[in-house]
A and B are shown apart, each in its own frame.
Chain A
Amino acid sequence: MPSLGRSQSASSGFSTNALAGAFEARTLAELSRALGVPAPIEAKEVTLQAPDMAENGAAVPVTLSVAVNGVKSLLLLVEKNPHLLAAAFELSDALEPAFTTRIKLQQSSNVFGVALLHDGRTLFARREVKVTLGGCAA
């Protein structure tokens, strides 16, 4: 679908079914299938900042940013959580492709930041976060 100059919408991305499937996915393969994208490639254009050690797994700050334009959406994944996908952002070119938020980690795990680009590329960056106190169960 061609983008309309600078006013590209921020909600033309995921269908409701694709999102539901994505949030249920437990592996990267299932997630890629649910969203209809190829398996992501590790790339230095994507930067994921996360603490090496998180004392509180219930609120781990992460910053995900992409050094190029043309980012359609960004995904935050936690490998060892009960569900892989923590959050999905549908972008427009009205903002920088960079976000900081806080997510829960149930245990020490890899965190992935995945960028889906308009040109069809799927890129990711990974950081390993160790957790002292898990974040999903009391």
Chain B
Amino acid sequence: MTEPTKIRAQLNGSSALVRVLMLHEMESGLRKDANGKTVAAWHIQTVQIRHQDKLVLTMHCGPAVAKNPYLQFSLRDAKTGDRVSVSWIDNLGNRRADSTTIA
């Protein structure tokens, strides 16, 4: 139903810079379409980031996070080959999980 999340994780010393692009419409529920009808809210609510299966970050999104949410952060104590997973759930219950390894 949705496109895969793009994740780039690059080692930088002992940290890894992680850049995530989640593909999602992120409708705030406040927008009106061409006919003047309000477009229902449809947006990611919770994003969980795991480093080697350990939960390191939970991001709670409101409707004011921009379309195709972008997220950038740095993981400490990272090594090449470590797994970084991004999973999200939206307000309609759709889920998605993608992962990559640190380059």
B-side contacts of A92, CB under 8 Å: 55-57
Within 8 A of A (CB), among B29-84: 30-33, 48-49, 51, 54-67, 69-77
User: CA of A13 to CA of B62 in the docked complex: distance in angstroms?
Assistant: 17
- Size bin of chain B's contact surface: 20 to 34
Q: Hey, what's the 0/1 contact readout for A3-37 against B, CB within 8 Å counting as 1? A: 00001011101100001000100000000000000
Complex contact B61–A104 (CB within 8 A): no
Complex contact B74–A98 (CB within 8 A): yes
B-side contacts of A138, CB under 8 Å: 31-33
CB distance from B32 to the nearest CB of A (A): 6
Question: Is B15 part of the contact surface with A, judged by Cβ < 8 Å?
Answer: yes
CB distance from B101 to the nearest CB of A (A): 17
B-side contacts of A94, CB under 8 Å: 51, 54, 56, 75-77
Q: Hey, what's the 0/1 contact readout for B8-46 against A, CB within 8 Å counting as 1? A: 000000010000000000001011110000000000000
Question: Is A82 part of the contact surface with B, judged by Cβ < 8 Å?
Answer: yes
Query: Chain B residue with minimal CB distance to A135?
Result: B66
Query: Chain B residue with minimal CB distance to A101?
Result: B71
A-side contacts of B28, CB under 8 Å: 104, 136
User: CA of A98 to CA of B51 in the docked complex: distance in angstroms?
Assistant: 16
4 smallest A-B Cβ distances: which pairs? A102-B66, A100-B72, A86-B64, A59-B66
